[in-house]
Chain A
Amino acid sequence: GAVVSQHPSRVICKSGTSVKIECRSLDFQATTMFWYRQFPKQSLMLMATSNEGSKATYEQGVEKDKFLINHASLTLSTLTVTSAHPEDSSFYICSASTLPYGYTFGSGTRLTVV
């Protein structure tokens, strides 16, 4: 089946630094990928929709300058958290549409900013 590979699975960074998270579709082409944030015991919050070759579409309230999304190829989307602060600590998950069978999610990245 479709597989979405997400790296790293866990990252700890210092406040003020930037962190890049990669999401790859391994055996299919994903023109559209989605980035979510998930707080403990809460559901997935859609941050942005990443479209190959064009600018990402951000959800209301998500700072596009802070969460930079690049979708340069049909198999790779990246999320860069710039100038990270402790409040950015969270679980970030990407997914790709594999409709009509739903969506395939990456395994998630736990970001801790210290």
Chain B
Amino acid sequence: QKEVEQDPGPLSVPEGAIVSLNCTYSNSAFQYFMWYRQYSRKGPELLMYTYSSGNKEDGRFTAQVDKSSKYISLFIRDSQPSDSATYLCAMSALDTNAGKSTFGDGTTLTVKP
């Protein structure tokens, strides 16, 4: 079983919809939680970064972490065609000097105009 499981998708929504992207994990040592957006043939770019449990909002994006359920989510409000990309969740343990993150397999999102 993988340490990080991500809803596989693909996901197709109309413009303006609210999108929910989700990951579950099994390693209780994970403390740092990240969401990356990756456009085709490009490197991932960091979207959201949270430490421990709670919510974090940045514009149309909201990241939620529920450590008790080992579940994280990324919500996109008023989705736009430019949001069409693959979204990767990633997690790291408290000791991050090694810098290793464990990534989900990604969810491909298409927002149709």
> In the complex, what residues of A have CB within 8 A of residue B43's CB?
4, 6, 93, 95, 105-108
**Which of B41, B51, B99, B106 is in CB contact (< 8 Å) with A103?**
B99
For window 54-113 of B, CB contacts with A under 8 Å fall at: 88, 90, 96, 98-101, 103-106, 108
**Which of A34, A44, A110 is in CB contact (< 8 Å) with B41?**
A110
> In the complex, what residues of B have CB within 8 A of residue A106's CB?
43
Summed over the interface, the residue pairs from A and B with CB atoms below 8 Å come to a total of: 58
Please give me the 5 A-B residue pairs with the lowest Cβ-Cβ distance, nearest first: A105-B43, A97-B99, A43-B105, A102-B46, A108-B43
Verify if A61 is at the interface (C-beta below 8 Å from B). no
> In the complex, what residues of B have CB within 8 A of residue A103's CB?
34, 46, 90, 99, 101
**Are B41 and A108 touching (Cβ within 8 A)?**
yes
Verify if A46 is at the interface (C-beta below 8 Å from B). yes
- Count of B interface residues, CB-CB < 8 Å: 23
A35-56 near B? 1/0 per residue, CB < 8 Å: 0000001111010010000000
**Bound-complex Cα distance A49 to B99 (A):** 8
**Are A101 and B99 touching (Cβ within 8 A)?**
no
Q: How far is the CB of A78 from chain B (nearest CB, A)?
A: 16
Q: How large is the interface on A (under 10, 10 to 19, 20 to 34, 35 or more residues)?
A: 20 to 34
Residues of A at the B interface (CB closer than 8 Å) are 4, 6, 32, 34, 41-44, 46, 49, 91, 93, 95, 97, 99-108, 110
Between A and B, 17 residue pairs with Cβ closer than 8 Å are A32-B99, A34-B99, A41-B108, A44-B88, A49-B98, A49-B100, A91-B41, A93-B44, A95-B43, A99-B99, A102-B32, A103-B34, A103-B46, A103-B99, A105-B44, A105-B45, A108-B43
**Which of B42, B90, B99 is in CB contact (< 8 Å) with A107?**
B42
**Which of B44, B45, B46, B98 is in CB contact (< 8 Å) with A44?**
B44
**Bound-complex Cα distance A106 to B43 (A):** 6
**Which of B49, B100, B103 is in CB contact (< 8 Å) with A101?**
B49
Given known A-B contacts A105-B44, A110-B41, A46 and B34 have beta carbons under 8 A apart: no
